Structure 1
């Protein structure tokens, strides 16, 4: 009987070196590096993670419980329950006055899965995708994991201190390898909101260059002038190369439920059905019933969340702006605040020192790319009382 021989294979080796280049090149999150130092400390004011401190509304929990008792624990449509996709269509009509057919919706395991599926759908190995920065690291790394090459384009700062994405900077970054542009508006971590007229410019750019737009609009409800943020869905048609991703996590305090959605051009649903099938086999059915309750009953909860964040935003902006040497970039949307600090320390070192000395946990600006050096990101989706305590501690820290 013949036997195989592999004489050059070493007996002992570093298995990490045997992994794919994609996974070996994924960065370690600096947010996690800081958070792991103080997760279990009850005295820490935790502003590092992008989630509010309110519990999921009772009617959502009750809908999940009722679905469990009714036996909704089996496989279902990989694109999502038809009733949920219709509820998503109705939600977009209520808030953006766009009527989208259910065929354009796919339900995903959170917003991250919506982004990952979209990257898998659009990118081939070696394709470039332009990402404005500072950017949430998960946006960048999900594109890299799908085989794409992120090309980072920094935001500019206008004379009023607000950020802007200059389309000329994006044009300068386009190469023959450019396949897509990733737009996160309102933005994590900066709170920047893309104006509708700029969206129109980027849609025109997409049509002229045949470049995809992947738009992450998860914070669209969190805008502080009484309106929702504009959506690419308001200015595109079903044949435009635009994919919009979203999540239930932020609007309805459902971060741990892991359910989101994507809106895709007409005709791509059959491909997203395959992506869901082979990535996750779909979202748990009882969770989808909870999501229906969120959409049907949750508009008032959203209004309360946004109002609460508007109050804590003011507490942080007003309080931290009084500290000499500290720079505050007031966000137009989302629920994050970028705070600049004096000195030459790295953002990571300052965040670690702040955790130890002030018992306040924040995200280092460099977690969002090199453009974030000199800044810290604070999540202000917390109670006003806790926000005031955080400002008090931060004031003492910076004044030292």
Structure 2
């Protein structure tokens, strides 16, 4: 989608010799006046690494300075294996207004393959995204939508129980 929109994806490598962790200096070297958007994935797949608040603060400062947006993929955010919680960049000052959260039901509610997700963003942007999605994806199956409603209405303790099962 980045290339379709005329952009050039520039990955920030998470190297094994740095424990697959974010390197602020490497990030800073890749940011320039053409940077429009950063995609975060925390917890990340496949390592499960969670970006610490200090790294999110670094990215937030860069976003404010350079004026770019963030897409924060938080689909694994409720699968918290150490009980410390997963910080979201949207909790930082000024970031809710320049962040799109993407999330879904597949990981949290074990609905893998059902393709039910959502985005949280400023309303003005949501109207534009709706136009894009209308012409780029099909509709979500009715049974999947009803399953999502049931998942949200259910006792959310099932999520922590599932995490405990995964630990074993």
Q: Could you tell me the TM-score, scaled by structure 2's length?
A: 0.86
Report the alpha carbon displacement of residue 284 of structure 1 after superposing the two structures with TM.
3.3
Count of matched residue positions in the alignment of Structure 1 and Structure 2: 168
Verify the 8 A CA contact 2:60 2:95 in the aligned structure 1: no
Identify the residue that residue 244 of structure 1 maps to in structure 2: 101
From 154, 159, 163, the counterpart of 2:13: 154
Report the alpha carbon displacement of residue 145 of structure 1 after superposing the two structures with TM.
4.8
Verify the 8 A CA contact 2:100 2:121 in the aligned structure 1: yes
Verify the 8 A CA contact 1:178 1:211 in the aligned structure 2: yes
Report the alpha carbon displacement of residue 286 of structure 1 after superposing the two structures with TM.
3.9
Report the alpha carbon displacement of residue 269 of structure 1 after superposing the two structures with TM.
2.0
Identify the residue that residue 301 of structure 1 maps to in structure 2: 158
Identify the residue that residue 194 of structure 1 maps to in structure 2: 51
Task: Determine helix, strand or coil for the equivalent of 1:262.
Answer: strand
Report the alpha carbon displacement of residue 236 of structure 1 after superposing the two structures with TM.
4.8
Where do 1:207-286 residues align within 5 Å? 207-237=64-94, 240-280=97-137, 282-286=139-143
Q: Measure the CA separation in 2 of the matches of 1:187 and 1:238.
A: 20
Report the alpha carbon displacement of residue 227 of structure 1 after superposing the two structures with TM.
3.5
Identify the residue that residue 43 of structure 1 maps to in structure 2: none
Return closer, same or farther for 1:147/1:304 CA change in 2, 3 Å cut-off.
Answer: farther
Task: Determine helix, strand or coil for the equivalent of 1:227.
Answer: coil
Report the alpha carbon displacement of residue 298 of structure 1 after superposing the two structures with TM.
5.0
Q: Measure the CA separation in 1 of the matches of 2:110 and 2:96.
A: 33
Where do 1:277-356 residues align within 5 Å? 277-280=134-137, 282-311=139-168
- Work out which structure has the larger RCO, using CA pairs closer than 8 Å and 6 or more positions apart in sequence: 1
Q: List, as ranges, runs of 4+ consecutive aligned residues in structure 1 with deviation greater than 3 Å.
A: 142-147, 236-239
The superposition leaves residues 144-164 of structure 1 with CA deviations (integer Å, 9 ceiling, x where unpaired) of 455432212222557xx7432
Where do 1:375-386 residues align within 5 Å? none
Verify the 8 A CA contact 2:90 2:96 in the aligned structure 1: no
Q: Which has the larger radius of gyration?
A: 1
Q: Measure the CA separation in 1 of the matches of 2:94 and 2:34.
A: 25
Verify the 8 A CA contact 1:183 1:216 in the aligned structure 2: yes
CA RMSD across the alignment: 2.3
Which protein is richer in helix relative to its size? Answer: 1
Q: Measure the CA separation in 2 of the matches of 1:265 and 1:279.
A: 21
Q: Could you tell me the TM-score, scaled by structure 1's length?
A: 0.39
Structure 1 spans left out of the alignment, 5+ residues: 1-141, 312-400
